[in-house]
Amino acid sequence: MASSNTPIPVDDGFNEYESAVKRQKSTTSKVWDEMTKLECENKNELKAQCNHCKTIFSAKSSNGTSHLRRHLNSCLKKVNKDITQYTIATQPSPEGVPSIKNYKFDADECRKAISTFLVCGKHSFRTVEEPGFRYMMRIASLNFKNISRYTAARDVLMYYAKERDRVKEELAKAPGLICLTSDNWNSEHTNYEYICVTAHWVDKDWKLQKRIIRFRALFPLYDGLNIADELVLCLSQWGIDKKIFSITLDNASYNDVMVSCLKNHFRANRAILCDGAFFQVRCCAHILNLIVKAGLKLADDVVGKIRNGIRYIRKSGIRRKRFYDVADKSFHLNVTKKLRQDVCVRWNSTYLMLESSLYYKDVLDYWGQRDKDYQIFALSNEEWRNVAILCKFLKVFYDVTYFVEIILSNLRLLFDEYVKKSKSTSSSLAGSSNVSNKNPIDSGLDEHNDSSADFGGYFDESDDYKRYLNESSTRSEKSQLDIYLEEPELELNSQIDVLDYWGKSSVRYNELSLLARDLLAIPISTKVITPLRSSLKPKTVQAVVCLDDWMRAKGFSAEIGCKKDDDDDEDDDVSSVVFYDTFFLNV
């Protein structure tokens, strides 16, 4: 039995990753510029290999590095430059002769790149043990040392912990408030219940930002009280518990209890606007999803036929090519519009699938008459009429998701809060710098009146007029919201970057732009998480999910992206919603 002095393991979804960073001990000795650490089957044993002569030495920390330094000083092969540390420079020398450029293999950067490859590519950790991967890395650099899947997993945890600190700094620097989305999901493979928390905000450059800050397994009971405690802990760990504007949730019953607990917590810390009137945002997508799914149930058989028929055509590259050739040459259709495959948990993707099937209706009927394997998916005329009706029904909801109605009275109430907050900030700044809050015109009048008294009460009649102008302008002053609402309306379909507009209008509409920045960060729906076929430990799952999200936010995908094939375009709607598909290692 553990003694009372035994430290309790930290498993709070945040500090538990510190051990991964501590494992990566700093090797500051210069011998490691010319020595490489080797992994041994015995985890308690460490080896070091000379990069010049390949001799292997013991590298236990208790032995120090003096013996390694002595070897490097006398290594006979050290005088021979290692050609693997040189590359041909891309630019020739001034004499026009290609030059040799010194290059140093950085093992840490290489391991970091492998972590990025595994996470963003959603590859199994076992990939690093595959012969093909190791052959590729050996060709890329003779200095690369093979790593195991366990080392790859530890590298990802360490990388996550370091990136997390950078994301925490970003959240701290957010100029406005932060909006949250939260959703729960159950893994059918591990029976873990996960909570996903995402932070949304508008940065100083008026760009919308999003980061997943929590993807952690919950422990029973999964009720509103426990989930509220989890969220409070999460926000405190990230240092944003006093910067929250709203949280968007689905309509699960436990969320009402959770929101009530969160409101009480924020009220106690005076960190909530309008007594929480705008704190909870109902997930529009979830509400619409319930309505639409009820309608789709009436046409399950027809939708299933279309789904499986499209999957059959798209499964074979040859079959797919023949389908589009027939559509182009025989039916003169624009084949840049592709057959869409839906994701069954996303009704909007089902609508797009049905819409594309109606576009290719004649081609699909033609195909059903000539391909006996496809005939089981062919639709009758009556079924096609039902698809057309269903598609018309779904289009209404599909279009509705692109509009949000704001009630003016609530907007005025919220704007008043921002005006109060702005005045409070201005007053505190003015008080600390001993600056008068008086209107400059009033100050000028007071000074003039004081000096006038010294000269026997001489009074300029124009002062009455100045005072009249000042008082009348105060009476007729309109709020920034009133002035904004009186501006001419823009065309509904006009091309305008809303965030850019408010960024440029921040001088003219000071308080209103602050409100706009926080409002525009509110998502109207929670993130939909499709099944995560994973046997990873929850600690690793959070690291992988968050790290992938953060790398994409840094522009990783765009930076290394390559041109797609024509057929790749048809998968856009699927790839945007499919979550982590394959991690097969239990680590």
pLDDT in tens, 120-135: 888 889 999 999 999 9
| Residue 62: predicted pLDDT | 74
Q: Token pair of 93, please? A: 């020398």
Co-location of 54 and 95 in the same domain:
no
Over residues 368-381, mean pLDDT: 92
Sign of CA dihedral 233, 237, 238, 241: positive
Eight-state DSSP code of residue 438: S
Co-location of 268 and 210 in the same domain:
yes
Weakest mean pLDDT among 2-11, 253-262, 290-299: 2-11
Is the predicted pLDDT of residue 324 greater than 90, yes or no? Answer: yes
- Give the number of other Cβ atoms within 10 Å of residue 402's Cβ: 7
Task: State the pLDDT confidence band at 525, using cuts at 50, 70 and 90.
Answer: low
Weakest mean pLDDT among 23-32, 137-146, 389-398: 23-32
Co-location of 52 and 91 in the same domain:
no
Weakest mean pLDDT among 255-264, 448-457, 485-494, 504-513: 448-457
Size (the chain), residues: 587
* Spatial separation of the C-alpha atoms in residues 2 and 156, rounded to whole Å: 31
- Give the number of other Cβ atoms within 10 Å of residue 416's Cβ: 15
Co-location of 305 and 392 in the same domain:
yes
Co-location of 316 and 275 in the same domain:
no
Sign of CA dihedral 98, 100, 105, 109: negative
| Single residue among 156, 185, 213 that ends a domain in this structure | 156
| Single residue among 156, 182, 216 that ends a domain in this structure | 156
Co-location of 140 and 241 in the same domain:
no
Specify if 3 maps to a domain: no
Torsions phi, psi of 198, nearest 5? -125, 135
* Spatial separation of the C-alpha atoms in residues 75 and 51, rounded to whole Å: 10
Is the predicted pLDDT of residue 423 greater than 90, yes or no? Answer: no
Task: State the pLDDT confidence band at 77, using cuts at 50, 70 and 90.
Answer: confident
Q: Are 223 and 254 in contact (CB under 8 A)?
A: yes
User: Of 546, 548, 519, which is closest to residue 206 (Cα–Cα)?
Assistant: 519
Q: Provide the Cα torsion 232, 237, 240, 242; round to 10°.
A: 50
Co-location of 133 and 66 in the same domain:
no
Q: Are 144 and 137 in contact (CB under 8 A)?
A: yes
* Spatial separation of the C-alpha atoms in residues 246 and 373, rounded to whole Å: 52
| Residue 521: predicted pLDDT | 84
Half-sphere exposure of 106 (CA within 13 A, CB side): 8
Over residues 198-210, mean pLDDT: 91
- Chain Cα centroid distance, residue 571: 21
- Give the number of other Cβ atoms within 10 Å of residue 38's Cβ: 15
Eight-state DSSP code of residue 580: -
Over residues 277-305, mean pLDDT: 78
- DSSP strand pairing (178-186 vs 244-249): parallel
Weakest mean pLDDT among 50-64, 205-219, 448-462, 569-583: 569-583
Co-location of 111 and 250 in the same domain:
no
Co-location of 120 and 196 in the same domain:
no
Weakest mean pLDDT among 18-22, 84-88, 303-307, 488-492: 84-88
Q: Are 17 and 154 in contact (CB under 8 A)?
A: no
Eight-state DSSP code of residue 210: E
| Residue 464: predicted pLDDT | 53
Is the predicted pLDDT of residue 387 greater than 70, yes or no? Answer: yes
Sign of CA dihedral 8, 12, 15, 19: positive
Element (H, E) at 370: helix 361-370
Distances, alpha carbon 515 to alpha carbons 486, 506, 522, in Å: 18, 10, 11
Specify if 490 maps to a domain: no
Is the predicted pLDDT of residue 359 greater than 60, yes or no? Answer: yes
* Spatial separation of the C-alpha atoms in residues 278 and 60, rounded to whole Å: 59
| Residue 22: predicted pLDDT | 57
User: Of 525, 527, 579, which is closest to residue 286 (Cα–Cα)?
Assistant: 525
Specify if 508 maps to a domain: yes
Co-location of 306 and 356 in the same domain:
yes
Specify if 459 maps to a domain: no
Weakest mean pLDDT among 97-111, 172-186, 450-464: 450-464
Q: For residue range 537-574, what is the model confidence (pLDDT) as tens digits? A: 888 888 888 888 888 888 765 444 444 444 444 443 33
Domain count, the chain: 4
Specify if 55 maps to a domain: yes
Sign of CA dihedral 118, 119, 120, 125: positive
Q: Three-state SS for 185?
A: strand
Specify if 238 maps to a domain: yes
Co-location of 397 and 512 in the same domain:
yes
Distances, alpha carbon 563 to alpha carbons 178, 523, 555, 566, 572, in Å: 35, 30, 16, 9, 14
* Spatial separation of the C-alpha atoms in residues 373 and 215, rounded to whole Å: 43
Q: What percent of the chain has pLDDT over 90?
A: 25
Place of tokens 């509409």: 509
CA angle 146, 147, 153 (to 5 degrees): 160
Q: Is 206 exposed, middle or buried, given 0-12, 13-18 or 19+ CB atoms closer than 10 A?
A: buried
- Top mean-pLDDT range of 284-288, 332-336, 442-446: 332-336
Find the domain containing 415 and state its range: 294-423+496-522
| Residue 325: predicted pLDDT | 95
Q: What percent of the chain has pLDDT over 70?
A: 71
Task: State the pLDDT confidence band at 529, using cuts at 50, 70 and 90.
Answer: very low
Place of tokens 């044993």: 45
Specify if 402 maps to a domain: yes
Q: Three-state SS for 247?
A: strand
Task: State the pLDDT confidence band at 144, using cuts at 50, 70 and 90.
Answer: confident
| Residue 369: predicted pLDDT | 92
| Residue 484: predicted pLDDT | 82
Place of tokens 């309608």: 295
User: Of 508, 518, 523, 522, which is closest to residue 175 (Cα–Cα)?
Assistant: 518
Is the predicted pLDDT of residue 88 greater than 70, yes or no? Answer: no
Residue with more model confidence, 172 or 188: 172
Q: Three-state SS for 245?
A: strand
Co-location of 259 and 327 in the same domain:
no
| Residue 72: predicted pLDDT | 87
Q: Which one-letter amino acid corresponds to residue 61? A: S
Q: For residue range 209-234, what is the model confidence (pLDDT) as tens digits? A: 999 999 988 887 778 888 999 999 99
- In the predicted model, what is the mean pLDDT of the chain? 76
Over residues 178-184, mean pLDDT: 89
Q: Are 215 and 194 in contact (CB under 8 A)?
A: yes
| Residue 200: predicted pLDDT | 93
Element (H, E) at 471: helix 462-475
Cis peptide before 221 (omega within 30 of 0): yes
| Residue 19: predicted pLDDT | 61
| Residue 347: predicted pLDDT | 77
Is the predicted pLDDT of residue 86 greater than 60, yes or no? Answer: no
| Residue 311: predicted pLDDT | 92
Specify if 24 maps to a domain: no
Task: State the pLDDT confidence band at 337, using cuts at 50, 70 and 90.
Answer: very high
* Spatial separation of the C-alpha atoms in residues 164 and 17, rounded to whole Å: 10
